[in-house]
Structure 1
Amino acid sequence: MTKGLQMKELTKYYNEGSNRIAALDHVSISVEPGEFVAVVGPSGSGKSTFLSIAGALLKASEGEVKLNGNNISALTAQELADTRLKEIGFIMQSSNLVPYLNVLDQLLIIKRMSGKVKREDKEFAVKLLEKLGLGSKLKSFPEELSGGEKQRTAIARALINDPNIILADEPTASLDTKRAHEVVSLIAQEVNSGQKAAIMVTHDERMLEYCDKVYRMEDGKLSLQQAVKKSNLKEPAGTR
């Protein structure tokens, strides 16, 4: 069975009056386990539509999406919800943390959505947060965290169910250079160590050095821009 994420001949149409607009135009991409891919391009080029279809949030008009060999294009709404919860980790432009939950509970609420929280779930969450340099912040609330700490919490939340796929939408948009490198370095390390397939939509060219390949989206079409030699992954600030 083929692992990772495969998208084949994806097209997404929208109707505008009597016109049919192709937000995506026969897009194909394959992202293997352990591969970190960036997608760049101007606003309105189709990047958000592309990521929404990759994340099972939106269905394509044509084409197919396979996750670890399974065609998710044909799944029911409930099956898609289960797939998003168990197999896909989302890291958004803003951390989207729940204001009234502390850092540890930000992760455990995801486990509660899957069922009961077991002792080993809590232990795994604590270890994950410690690994990401948040061991001293377990009981802190979002308002007490820096921008970088919020995004690291969001990364931990995306990883708590050990997903096969990581999708990041402009994860450095609100961060300074140091924190941006810290966050994307962490994502790259998790992709490599956990053999996860990852796609990052970004306008931030500083972050492309962490990626294996860079694709460009323009007018709904996707093309390979370059294969990038990864920089040596440094230990992110705050993880010591």
Structure 2
Amino acid sequence: MALLSLQNISKSYTEGSTTVQALKQASLEVAAGELVAIIGPSGSGKSTLLSIAGALLQPTEGTVTINGQDLGNLSPKKLASFRLHELGFILQTSNLIPYLNVLDQLLLVKKMDSRVTKADKAHAKQLLTELGLSDKFKKMPNELSGGERQRVAIARAFMNNSTVILADEPTASLDSKRAFEVVQLLAKEAKERQKAAIMVTHDERMLPLCDHVYRMEDGVLTKEA
């Protein structure tokens, strides 16, 4: 069964007297352990689809189901809680908080929901260690390389044991070696932890690391492999 299912998703915007259709009946499913890539030119609708999958935008039509829950049935308050517990985000710039060290970047996720326990600290250290950051717990973001910052962002996305991981151009600011390492780690963590992961990317060199590839053109999503 798919952990993430998008069925017949359309999204329209009104600009003056004109209606712009950003997405046109887009559908995809991601099973546990899979990393799916969405490629396509800028402005084709990739980030809009990712925002809908992440419960940041409401579709004009269609259904989004995560872990068996139809997001269209949730109130705004329940949707916010669902987003905190079920979704992990990895962004292009890593979005680390400049005044928190590496370990605290992860623990902040737990503080947003409840108090931090010893088990939470152990889990955070385990995640960071798995991603090769065991000697970086106390480092600040400005003391890390671009690849290290993205690895912290990956660890943070898994901190709440999220069902779905959404990555928006996670390698855009990295050289090819670091980009490959980051996507390889993302695929490995998704598979080992049985999460569903979607990555929007322009970098087609990363596609061999993905289980399936979709292409977005003018709001139309098609499966390539």
User: What is the alpha-carbon distance in structure 2 between the residues aligned to residue 11 and residue 131 of structure 1?
Assistant: 38
Aligned positions of 1:145-184 closer than 5 A? 145-184=144-183
Residue 209 (structure 2) pairs with residue 210 (structure 1): yes
2:146–2:174 contact (8 Å) kept in structure 1: yes
Specify the alignment match of 2:33 in structure 1: 34
Which residue type is aligned with residue 82 of structure 2? T
SS state at 1:136 partner: coil
Cα contact 2:2–2:29 (8 A) shared by 1: no
Equivalent in the alignment of 2:137: 138
Q: Residue 62 of structure 2 corresponds to which residue in structure 1?
A: 63
Alpha-carbon shift at residue 74 of structure 1 (Å): 2.3
User: Alignment identity in percent?
Assistant: 58
1:100-156 CA distances to partner (integer Å, 9 max, x unpaired)?
Answer: 000000000000011010110001101111111111110000010011110000001
Counterpart AA for 1:184: V
Task: Supply the distance in 1 between the matched residues of 2:211 and 2:126 (Cα, whole angstroms).
Answer: 28
Residue in structure 2 matched with residue 236 of structure 1 by the alignment: none
> How many residues were matched structurally?
225
1:44 and 1:149 mapped to 2: Cα distance?
29
- Say which SS state the counterpart of residue 198 (structure 1) adopts: strand
CA distance in 2, matches of 1:35, 1:152: 19
SS of equivalent residue, structure 1 residue 137: coil
Structure 2: runs of 5 or more not aligned: none
Q: What is the rounded CA distance, in whole Å, between the counterparts of 1:16 and 1:46 in structure 2?
A: 16
SS in 1 for 2:162: coil
Q: Does 1:4 align with 2:3?
A: yes
Distance 1:93 1:23 in 2: 21
Deviation at 1:3, TM superposition (A): 4.3
Aligned match of 2:128: 129
- Partners of 1:138 and 1:162 lie apart in 2 by 20
TM-score by length of structure 1 reads 0.92
State the AA in 2 paired with 1:222: L
Q: Please, what is the CA RMSD of the aligned residues?
A: 0.8
Letter in 2 for 1:42: P
